[in-house]
Structure 1
Amino acid sequence: MTEDPEKEALSFIMDIDSGAKVTLLYHGDGDGVCSAVMVYKCLQRRGISNINPLPLERGENPFSERTTAKINGSDPDFLVVLDSGSRRGTFHNIRSLVIDHHVPDSVPEVEVFFNTWVDKTNRITSEAVFDLVKRIIPEDDIRWYSLTGTGADAGLSKAFSRYAGKEKKYGNKEIQECISLINASRRHCSFRIAEVFNLLVRSTSPSMFIAAAKRAGIDKLREELKLELKKNLKIAPVFSSFFVLFQLNSPHQIHPLIASIWSVKLNRYVVIAANWGYLPGKVSFSMRTESGKDLLVLLKKYRKKGEEIGFGHSKATGGIVKEEVFRDFLRRLGFKPKLLHPKPPDVHRGTLGSHNVT
């Protein structure tokens, strides 16, 4: 790692010449996609046209076999990886820049590794990217992307406080609607985040993006997700010590929402929402807590070497593992084997009211 990774990241971007082929690999949440859009527009402003935006697919990481095959297939001269976690791996002979804000599990073998948790600024990836590319592209052209990305990951209060006095023309409701539509495209089983990326690139304001996304039917995906969430909030929990488990079968990525909602109500527990229906043969699960426990520290006690469990944030983490691995993991947490099956669980009348999908 360099002494000044932010400076090195800027130098990396400035080193990209107009004839270069560039791949942008980004996580498909609001923070990741908005970060990628800002880098894309920055490169365009510098006269670079051969840019391949590549969303991280469901259940993949930057160094998984499927992802690296896609990267190699585009044969890039430069690779920029955004908001996709910090873990060991290499892209071999491709000049690579990783920009991330998650707690690093390890350090990737890349030319420049710029992680804002490491540099102690704790900026969301969208904030860090904004701080880089505003030196190349006018702030007014990209600030609403950073507002949206930061708000998606850290909440609107942090986003607007970050730009206090500079961003009066955009209101909370407008930015929140952008976040909601982006999230719907990612959480829905149709996974239309690449389409949303293109809509964001073509839009010059939140209102323009909102109108375009609704014409494309992204708001209809959100309505489907609301119904799916309402149904799955009726799932009966199972307790083991300070862990509480909700098992669901949904093709949509609603397990993080289930975990977040219940973690507020069951604030003395570590909530696990396990989705047996999101990816074939695997369990995708989210863990959330308001108990004060550090999930990353806690999971080191239960995670076996090599398991894709417990990366990200101290209050929000999870993983995607094979079904048998997840059953074994639950046994380590004290859950009874007879409960560990992928059948749709029994439901009861929910005690939670309706929730918006944001």
Structure 2
Amino acid sequence: MRSRLPRLLTPLVRAALSKRVLPRVAFSGAMSAQILGNRARSITTYTEGSDLPRVRPHVWPAPSKDIMAARDFIRESAASPKNILIVPDREPDGMASGTIVSLVLQLLGKPESEIRIHFTAAGFTIFNPLERARLSRVCQKENVSHVIVLGQGARASWSLLEKSIETKALIINDQHSDRFLENTVAVSASRDPPSTTSSLLTYIVCSELHPEARETTGWLALLGIFGDLGARASLEPPYPQELKDFKKKYTSTHLRDLVTLLNASRRTPECGTRDAWEILQYTPQTNPAPTPKSIMKGEANAELRERLKDAKTRVNAEVRRCSKMPPRFSKDRKVAIIFMDSPYLVHPLVATRWSNYFDPNLTKLVLAANTGYAEGKVSFSCRAVSGRARKGDKGGPKEYETESWDINVISILREYLAKDSLLEEQARGEFTNGYKRATGGSVPLDVWMLFLEKGLEITPRKGDFPQKHALDYIQD
């Protein structure tokens, strides 16, 4: 496969260099960026049952009309005499997005004292009715005129807020979606490659709003990219050219270390997201402004850094413990399930770790299920099997030659849900949102049991569910 790959890409690269129309091919985000570059301005697709090509514009990172609407929304927010509420995701990408918005609002003249921050409750999303009520109360209590939601996904729902609340809303979302909440301005990532992040979308929206916005917030866009796409993510066009300069200035090592530090706080049982948020906060007038290097050295806030380092140590220990659980397999052996009971948010890390140790010819995805994170629910993470395992010097895991780029986690999960109409009705909203190679969610125990029995066709065992209240669902 490796020897054939360059020959496969050659006609695509030639097409890009000659400004010819490129076919739409499913590559990873980094490779797509290298192939498309700035020269690819259109995409050719073929309608099923027809040999005639259909050419459409290559849209990236989002439709321009949506980006312009978001800029108008932020300008309006900065001019509002009332408070502004920022609702970022708990991941580094969401934290970086929220910090970008906060800094740009201040550059536009909004006092820092009029900017509020809100995090969803652990185990909940903004689409949950309980969280909607909670967010509505915050808007009413804090006298909020505009709310900006970052990196929380997009699903069909009646409203972000209760109908009695007149607060205006903006959603910036790195997952492509055609479904949005009512009465909101929304910027959703395009389905066209390369991959994007919420922080990059937020940076592109905000960078044109003030002359100092690029220099002030550029490293935060990189922080989110490192958090979501990894340190090896390509920054080739159509990514903004200045991101390469910021990467040289702030270095991959410090950005990567900061991502790890920020991630640790949200994974602990106490979910200390505030510490991660506070360590990133500063005003445009701060001199010198904090950098990834100064934060990691404790120059910005030594006390917060020590608390985050302690969280990182505890999370790493819990990942090692939960990774020792042996997997079970679906009836067709396409899915490996790792059961755990942990108050830590470690199931995504365990799923990623195990995804390197299966043959993608046989097992397509890893599903890590945690009964201890959210009471009464099973929190889960799915990862496509990577087939990256290498043979060690002393008989370690063998190397799998088959590439796994074509594994689509969402499509595979939909196939399992389609086996039972009740299962599909109750679980579709949680199992089919996310990325092509990674997704996750949280479902009630009875829905999870239905998924195991009807979807994966395996018989649950008591050892799979250490929590006492889960045993009621399992027969001897």
Q: What TM-score, normalized to structure 2?
A: 0.68
The structure-2 alpha-carbon separation of the partners of 1:44 and 1:54, relative to structure 1 and needing over 3 Å to count, comes to same
Distance 1:18 1:318 in 2: 37
Written as runs of structure 1 = structure 2, the 5 A alignment for 1:113-132 is 113-118=186-191, 122-132=195-205
Q: How many Å separate the matches in 2 of 1:124 and 1:86? A: 14
Is the counterpart of residue 295 in structure 1 residue 357 in structure 2? no
Partner of 2:376: 281
Q: Structure 1's 337 and 306: CA in aligned 2 closer, same or farther, altered over 3 A? A: closer
Tell me the amino acid that sits aligned with residue 206 of structure 1.
Answer: P
Q: 1:337 to 1:166 in 2, by over 3 A?
A: closer
Instruction: Please say if 1:244 is aligned against 2:336.
Output: yes
Q: Which residue of 2 aligns with 1:153?
A: 228
Q: How does 1:18-29 map to 2 (within 5 A)?
A: 18-29=80-91
SS in 2 for 1:77: strand
Q: Compute the displacement of 1:70 (Å).
A: 2.8
Aligned to 2:294: 208
Equivalent residue letter for 2:376: G
- Inter-partner Cα distance in structure 2 for 1:18 and 1:67: 25
Contact 2:410-2:431 within 8 A present in 1 as well: no
* 1:352 equivalent in structure 2: none
Q: CA RMSD in A?
A: 2.2
Post-superposition shift, 1:125?
0.8
Question: What is the match of residue 346 of structure 2?
Answer: 254
Task: Select between 209-218 and 308-317 the one with higher mean Cα deviation.
Answer: 209-218
Cα pair distance change 1:327/1:4, threshold 3 Å? same
Shift of 1:61: 1.3
Aligned-partner residue type, residue 208 of structure 1: S
Partners of 1:3 and 1:110 in 2: CA distance: 19
- In structure 2, the CA distance between the partners of 1:155 and 1:341, relative to structure 1 (3 Å rule), is closer
Distance 1:278 1:214 in 2: 29
Give 3-state SS (helix, strand or coil) of 1:55's partner.
coil
Structure-2 separation of matches of 1:325 and 1:214: 45
Is residue 39–residue 133 contact of structure 1 (8 Å, CA) maintained in 2?
yes
Which stretch shows the higher mean deviation, 179-188 or 64-73? 64-73
Residue 285 of structure 1 aligns to a residue whose secondary structure is: strand
The 1:340/1:86 distance shift into structure 2, 3 A limit, reads farther
- Residues 271, 289 of structure 1: 8 Å contact kept: yes
Within the candidate set 299, 305, 309, 2:425 is matched to 305
Match of 1:65 among 107, 129, 154: 129
1: distance between equivalents of 2:341 and 2:459? 19
| Greater than 4 Å deviation, 4+ residue runs | 118-121, 159-162
Separation in 2, partners of 1:83, 1:198: 18
**How has the CA–CA distance of structure 1 residues 119 and 86 changed in structure 2, closer, same or farther, with 3 Å as cutoff?**
farther
Give SS of 1:169's match: helix
Instruction: Report matched runs for 1:213-232 at 5 Å.
Output: 215-216=303-304, 217-232=307-322
1:101 to 163, 171, 174: 174
Structure 1 pair 170–2 and aligned structure 2 pair: CA distance change class (3 A):
closer
Report what 1:10 is aligned to: 71
Identify the residue that residue 261 of structure 2 maps to in structure 1: 181
Give 1:296 deviation, angstroms.
1.4
1:191 aligns to what? Answer: 271
Q: Which has the larger radius of gyration?
A: 2
Structure 2: distance between partners of 1:59 and 1:196: 18
Residues 123 and 373, structure 2, Cα contact 8 Å, conserved in 1: no
Please say if residues 175 and 206 of structure 1, whose CA atoms lie closer than 8 Å, have aligned partners that are also in contact. yes
Q: 1:311 to 1:340 in 2, by over 3 A?
A: farther
Question: Which among 68, 71, 82 is matched to residue 150 of structure 2?
Answer: 82
Is the contact between residue 156 and residue 180 of structure 2 (CA under 8 Å) also seen in structure 1? yes
SS class of match (1:252): coil
Per-residue CA shift, 1:102-159, capped at 9, x if unaligned? 1437322233110013576642111111112112342121111111111100111226
% same residue: 24
The answer to whether the 8 Å contact 2:426/2:447 transfers is no
Is the 8 Å Cα contact of residues 24 and 51 (structure 1) preserved in structure 2? yes
When residues 103 and 136 of structure 1 are mapped into structure 2, their CA distance, relative to the original with a 3 A threshold, is closer
The equivalent of 1:234 in structure 2 is: 324
- The answer on 1:335 being equivalent to 2:473 is no
* 2:217 match: 142
Instruction: Output the CA distance in 2 between the equivalents of 1:2 and 1:266.
Output: 39
Farther-moved stretch of structure 1 (189-198 vs 22-31) = 189-198
In 2 relative to 1, CA 174–123 (structure 1 residues): closer, same or farther, beyond 3 Å?
A: same
Residues 310 and 339 (structure 1 numbering): CA distance in 2 closer, same or farther, change over 3 Å? farther
What is the CA–CA distance in structure 2 between the aligned matches of 1:83 and 1:341, rounded to whole Å?
32
Shift of 1:58: 1.6
1:188-229 deviation digits (Å, cap 9, x = unpaired): 112111222122013621123221565221101100111111
Aligned residue in 1 for 2:437: 315
Q: Which moved more, 1:65-74 or 1:121-130?
A: 65-74
Aligned to 1:145, what secondary structure does the other structure show?
helix
SS of alignment partner, residue 250 of structure 1: coil
TM-score, length-scaled by structure 1: 0.89
SS of the equivalent of 1:48 reads coil
- Specify the code of the residue in structure 1 equivalent to 2:121: E
CA 306–107 in structure 1, closer or farther in 2 if over 3 Å, else same: farther
Cα distance in 2 for partners of 1:159, 1:35 equals 19
- 2:341 and 2:460 map into 1 onto residues whose CA distance is 18
